[in-house]
Structure 1
């Protein structure tokens, strides 16, 4: 896999603090807070997060992020964010063996390997294996939208 791997110098920090320290995941952090998921992701876990970069959130259709961040859309935002979370601590080597990832939101996200690149539901993993105390983060280049039920 040609994804850049980063070991956090301090894997004693939790997922959200690790994501915040990265600097590319500010929008994700705000969305987690808005969705009321902060306590869960600060908890014991472990979780694997597929975190869209700020640039990935910028690719959403105009107004989509603003709409999701409204208090009345908290459940939709939480569902979307949970589609980026998998239970357990999974490296890209683990994920590359899967056909799909069972996300916390209940839907399976298809996993594909294209040569030396790995994607989940079409989002390429651009930053891999960022360690934290309660899981691992993989940066992705698009926001995955779960299908509506």
Structure 2
């Protein structure tokens, strides 16, 4: 069955369609079978705080659907660094009014593999802001991508941390 442009745009969502239209390196691949971004993050022991934050902000469903996304996922070590830098507890972080805004700053529309990300100057995010990219360093040193192309049925996860950069490893808008 031949898919029309309109059919493809409907299947990936209006927000992603805008990003796809402006960036040729983003794949608008149809959903694949297998684990979603939310599944992989939940099953990977390095992202426990991220998963708790996604749950608290009611964003698990966003990462569990068919929409193609790319997540820059801070590890628990990154969150621990951020908590120390901010002088707050995990519970205080999870109760922040801007938690959803911070988390959606880590999510880009479209299925962006490592080459697409690392060769871009900036990547748009679901919260409307941009992440600035210099190779594997994000936002001038807030975080560094250390593991790429963790493939999910609905996109990619790129694990980030604060190793070898100035930031804690969590992106802040």
Q: Shorter-chain TM-score category? A: 0.7 to 0.9
* TM-score normalised over the length of structure 1: 0.82
Tell me: CA distance 1:131–1:105, structure 2 relative to 1, closer, same or farther (3 Å). same
2:94 is matched with which residue: 69, 72, 75?
Answer: 69
Q: Distance in 2 between matches of 1:66 and 1:111?
A: 30
Q: Deviations over 1:60-80 (max 9, x none)?
A: 12206432312xx34x00000
Q: Distance in 1 between matches of 2:38 and 2:60?
A: 8
* TM-score normalised over the length of structure 2: 0.71
Aligned pairs, how many?
A: 130
Q: Which runs of 5+ in 1 are unaligned?
A: 1-10
Q: Give the match for residue 66 of structure 2.
A: 44
Q: Distance in 2 between matches of 1:129 and 1:44?
A: 18
Give the alignment's Cα RMSD to 1 decimal.
Answer: 1.6
Taking the TM superposition and a 5 Å limit, the aligned residue runs for 1:1-149 are 12-60=34-82, 61-63=86-88, 65-70=90-95, 73-74=96-97, 76-113=98-135, 118-121=136-139, 122=141, 123-141=143-161, 142-146=169-173
Q: Distance in 1 between matches of 2:89 and 2:68?
A: 30
User: Per-residue deviation at 1:49?
Assistant: 0.2
The structure with more strand, counted as a fraction of residues: 1
Moved over 2 A (4+): 64-68
Q: Which runs of 5+ in 2 are unaligned?
A: 1-32, 162-168
Q: Deviations over 1:10-66 (max 9, x none)?
A: x71010111122210110000000001111111111100000000000001220643
Tell me: CA distance 1:137–1:63, structure 2 relative to 1, closer, same or farther (3 Å). same
SS at 1:24 equivalent: helix
